[in-house]
């Protein structure tokens, strides 16, 4: 397995190996060995290659960056925080055993390959149930506690082992898909940990590398014992490139460089002395603060500020991502038990117009099936539900709704990753009206919406909307699968969709053997066969249409010219480790 900190040296080499079957794309500036998901069409839809791709120079040490984000962070506990916005903060102070390579931009790989972080290498038993991790030696947590196999076990006890004294129910609730299949966690020797699974689960590495909500980071056991499961959030203590300095609720979170960072070197960072993170909920206030010089970098700038910011010399960065914005049809309603109706609505929606006219090309139209572009199983060759109102009308007539029908779709008014839900919903509503469907839109604010959504509270509406996703194809099963959470509260399958044929393909996909050496998908821990099965499931599910597909966010960010080395990954998260300030 590759080493995180050799990645600067051999990343391109490795990608060459990984890019089986992908020839030169012949686009100026685009590496000719890009990963299979990337195509010229995709790059065009994602808004093109970044204009600052060539910017570089020798990284300058020191300096402070001020980053304004979209909301007040939740608790700073990697195991139990909600939302990507908090995860992006917590991530900087912690490391996971395995991570996505955050130095790899979206136009090189979507998602970035997996690299060892606190684990230097790992082996997977041939039957796919035993994962043995060799841990990097000589690493210390921010409080001086040595990182070793006991520390790993202590952390897994917290998030998974209900019998352990330090077990934390809230952490297990957040980490459920990561720890679903764990049977035992054993210390083999001080620098080796073996995790045994109840059944083969080839997405396990991807789950360990996943971020949002929260992540399987390693927290100092000493700090956990000292502060307890709740108060550790006030004293984040990890091994990451930045250390916690202070948090003033409603105003800022401050971090400083970890001078003893185990992976620190002048080539890969960390370079910054200090990171100041400001919660600024109003998008136009973030843009104003960037223009006025109060902030160096902002996330989720208002789409309509793009031309202005670019004219004033700011960098606008965006790229494909695994962030799916969709409606889940309510399968308890006879109307939506009719596949033709579900398909008709998908044909009636002009996604490209929505993305270009309303969102000014800051979002990707979901015309390639359910799996979004940043997901490993994304299938660019699969074209689904191109805008075709005529076909939609035909399908409706065939379904017995020639005159259309009335229904109610719900969404939130705001919230994590929701973009501008009400205007998007109204755009969809207008397209539906063209084919005779009278779609009422109801919206409520985020917390009450989310709590109702997550506890199966929308049984009386036509469909409920959500925005979510992961680089890991297992996300499809969490979202539409019938094997998890069905019949209980919780889980992502809001429409109660169940299709045994697709379920069995998805189960086979996650049971597939670990990849052989040289398999193009080895850098992600999956075999080609597993990815092909996920793609099959994606095609079957898309055709059966449990969701009204809308768009995938391109995760836009904007920053001033002083900010260098920022890598726009095909992920919802990024590292400050690569960033440096030119002045």
Partner 1 sequence: MIRYIIRRGSHFVFILFAISVIVFLAIRMAPGDPIVHLAGPFATATQRAQIRTSYGLDKPLPVQYVKWVEKAVQGDLGLSMQLHVPVWGLLVGKLLNSVLLIVGSMIIAITLGWGLGILSGLKPGSFVDRLAQLLAISGISLPAFWFGMLLIIAFAIRLPWFPASGIISNRGSGGVGDVLWHLVLPALATAALPAGIMIRLTRSTIIETMQLPFVNALKAKGLSNRVVTQHIIRNAMPALLNMTGMQAGFLLTADIFTEVVFSWPGLGFQIYTAIIAQDYMAVQGAVLFVCIIFVALNIIVDVLRPLFDPRIRLV
Which residues make up the interface to partner 1 (CB under 8 A)?
Answer: 64, 66, 68, 72, 74-75, 80, 82, 169-170, 172-177, 213, 230-231, 233-234, 248-252, 276, 278-282, 284-285, 288-289, 291-295, 444-452, 454-455, 485, 488-492
Strands 252-257, 274-279: parallel, antiparallel or unpaired by DSSP?
Answer: antiparallel
CB 493 → partner 1: shortest distance, Å? 11
CB of 291 to partner 1, least distance (A): 5
Residue with tokens 């185990």: 262
Q: State in angstroms the smallest separation of the CB of 14 from partner 1.
A: 33
The least CB distance from residue 467 to partner 1, in Å, is 12
Query: Is the backbone of residue 128 left (phi > 0), alpha (psi -120 to 50) or beta?
Result: left
d(CA 384, CA 376): 18
Looking at the Cβ atoms of 173 and 430, the one nearer to partner 1 is 173
Nearer to partner 1, 174 or 387 (CB): 174
Q: Collapsing DSSP states into helix, strand and coil, what is residue 1?
A: coil
Q: How far is the CB of 550 from partner 1 (least distance, A)?
A: 20
CA–CA distance from 44 to each of 48, 107, 183, 370, 573 (Å)?
5, 11, 45, 20, 22
Q: Which is nearer to partner 1, 105 or 456 (CB)?
A: 456
269 vs 279 by CB, closer to partner 1: 279
Minimum CB distance to partner 1, residue 172 (Å): 7
Beta-sheet strand order (sheet of 252-257)? 242-248, 252-257, 274-279, 64-69, 297-299, 557-559, 315-317
Indicate the residue among 431 and 572 with the shorter CB distance to partner 1.
572
Look at residue 132 and give its three-state secondary structure.
Answer: strand
**Residue 523: closest CA among 133, 122, 219, 38:** 122
**Between 138 and 293, whose beta carbon lies closer to partner 1?**
293
**Strand-pair partners of 378:** none
- Cβ proximity to partner 1: between 348 and 375 the closer is 375
State the DSSP string of 41-53: HHHHHTT-S-TTT
Which three-class secondary structure state does DSSP give residue 315? strand
Nearer to partner 1, 41 or 162 (CB): 162
Q: Which among 213, 328, 241, 253 is positioned nearest to 5, based on CA atoms?
A: 241
Q: How far is the CB of 472 from partner 1 (least distance, A)?
A: 14
How far apart, in whole angstroms, are the C-alpha atoms of residue 190 and residue 187? 7
Question: What are the structure tokens assigned to 320, written together?
Answer: 């494909």
> How near is the Cβ of 324 to partner 1 at its closest, in Å?
14
Q: Which is nearer to partner 1, 131 or 449 (CB)?
A: 449
- Cβ-count burial of 531 within 10 angstroms (0-12 exposed, 13-18 middle, 19+ buried)? buried
Q: In angstroms, what is the minimal distance from the CB of 142 to partner 1?
A: 20
- Shortest separation between residue 252's beta carbon and partner 1, angstroms: 7
User: Tokens for 468?
Assistant: 């979510």
Neighbours of 123 (CB within 10 A): 12
Rounded CA-CA distance 343/141 in Å is 52
> Minimum distance between the CB of residue 69 and partner 1, rounded to whole angstroms?
11
What strand order describes the sheet that includes 547-553?
363-365, 547-553, 324-329, 463-468, 406-412, 438-444
In the bound state with partner 1, the residue whose beta carbon lies nearer, of 82 and 389, is 82
Cβ count within 10 A of residue 262: 18
Within 399-489, residue ranges assigned H as helices are: 421-434, 446-454, 474-480
Angstrom distance (rounded) from CA 321 to CA 129: 30
Please report how close the Cβ of residue 250 comes to partner 1 at its closest, in angstroms.
Answer: 4
Closest to partner 1 by CB, 56 vs 488, is: 488
Q: Rank residues 167 and 405 by Cβ distance to partner 1 and give the closer one.
A: 167
Helix 149-160 to helix 221-231 angle (10° resolution) is 20
**Cβ–Cβ < 8 Å for 325, 553:** yes
Q: How far is the CB of 276 from partner 1 (least distance, A)?
A: 5
- Burial of 164 by CB count in 10 Å (0-12 exposed, 13-18 middle, 19+ buried)? middle
β-pairing verdict for 274-279 and 64-69: parallel
Nearer to partner 1 among residue 496 and residue 513 (C-beta): 496
């Amino acid at each position: 397995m590759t080493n995180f900190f050799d990645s600067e040296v051999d990343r391109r080499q490795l990608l060459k190996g990984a890019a089986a079957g992908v020839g030169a794309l012949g686009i100026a500036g685009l590496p000719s060995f890009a990963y299979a998901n990337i195509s010229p069409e995709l790059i065009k839809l994602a808004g093109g290659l970044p204009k600052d791709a060539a910017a570089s120079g020798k990284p300058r040490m020191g300096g402070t960056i001020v980053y304004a984000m979209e909301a007040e962070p939740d608790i700073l506990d990697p195991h139990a925080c909600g939302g990507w916005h908090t995860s992006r903060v917590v991530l900087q102070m912690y490391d996971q055993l395995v991570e996505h390579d955050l130095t790899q931009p979206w136009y090189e790989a979507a998602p970035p390959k997996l690299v060892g972080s606190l684990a230097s290498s790992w082996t997977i038993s041939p039957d796919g149930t035993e994962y043995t991790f060799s841990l990097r030696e000589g690493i210390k947590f921010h409080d001086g506690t040595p990182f070793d196999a006991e520390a790993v076990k202590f952390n897994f006890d917290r998030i998974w082992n209900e019998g352990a004294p330090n077990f934390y129910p809230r952490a297990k609730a957040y980490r459920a898909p990561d720890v679903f299949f764990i049977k035992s966690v054993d210390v083999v020797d001080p620098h080796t940990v073996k995790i045994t699974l109840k059944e083969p689960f080839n997405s396990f590495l991807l789950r360990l590398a996943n971020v949002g909500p929260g992540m399987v980071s390693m927290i100092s056991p000493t700090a956990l014992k000292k502060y307890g499961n709740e108060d550790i959030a006030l004293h984040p203590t990890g091994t990451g490139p930045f250390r916690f300095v202070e948090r003033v609720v409603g105003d800022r979170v401050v971090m400083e460089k970890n001078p003893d960072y185990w992976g620190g070197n002048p080539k890969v960072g960390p370079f910054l002395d200090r990171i100041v993170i400001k919660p600024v909920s109003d998008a136009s206030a973030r843009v104003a603060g960037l223009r006025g010089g109060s902030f160096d970098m902002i996330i989720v700038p208002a789409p309509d500020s793009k031309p202005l910011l670019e004219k004033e010399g700011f960098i606008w960065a965006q790229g494909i991502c695994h962030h799916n914005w969709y409606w889940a049809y309510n399968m308890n309603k006879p109307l939506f038990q009719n596949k033709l109706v579900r398909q008709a609505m998908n044909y009636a929606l002009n996604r490209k117009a929505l993305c270009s006219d309303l969102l000014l090309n800051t979002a990707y139209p979901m015309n390639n099936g359910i799996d979004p572009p940043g997901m490993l199983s994304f299938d660019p060759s699969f074209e689904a539900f191109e805008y075709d109102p005529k076909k939609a009308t035909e399908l409706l007539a065939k379904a017995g709704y020639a005159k259309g029908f009335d229904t109610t779709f719900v969404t939130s008014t705001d919230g994590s990753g929701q973009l501008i839900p009400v205007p998007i919903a109204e755009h969809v509503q207008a397209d539906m009206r063209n084919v005779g469907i009278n779609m009422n839109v109801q919206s409520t604010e985020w917390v009450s919406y989310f709590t109702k959504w997550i506890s199966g509270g929308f049984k009386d509406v036509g469909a409920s909307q959500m925005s979510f996703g992961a680089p890991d194809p297992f996300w499809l099963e969490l979202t539409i699968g019938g094997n998890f959470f069905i019949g209980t509260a919780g889980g992502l399958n809001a429409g109660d969709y169940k299709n045994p044929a697709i379920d069995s393909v998805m189960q086979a996909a996650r049971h597939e053997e670990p990849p052989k050496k040289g398999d193009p998908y080895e850098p992600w821990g999956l075999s080609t066969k597993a990815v092909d099965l996920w793609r099959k499931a994606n095609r079957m599910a898309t055709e059966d249409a449990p969701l009204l597909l809308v768009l995938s966010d391109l995760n836009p960010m904007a920053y001033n010219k002083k900010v260098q080395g920022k890598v726009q990954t095909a992920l919802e998260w990024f590292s400050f480790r690569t960033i440096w300030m030119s002045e």
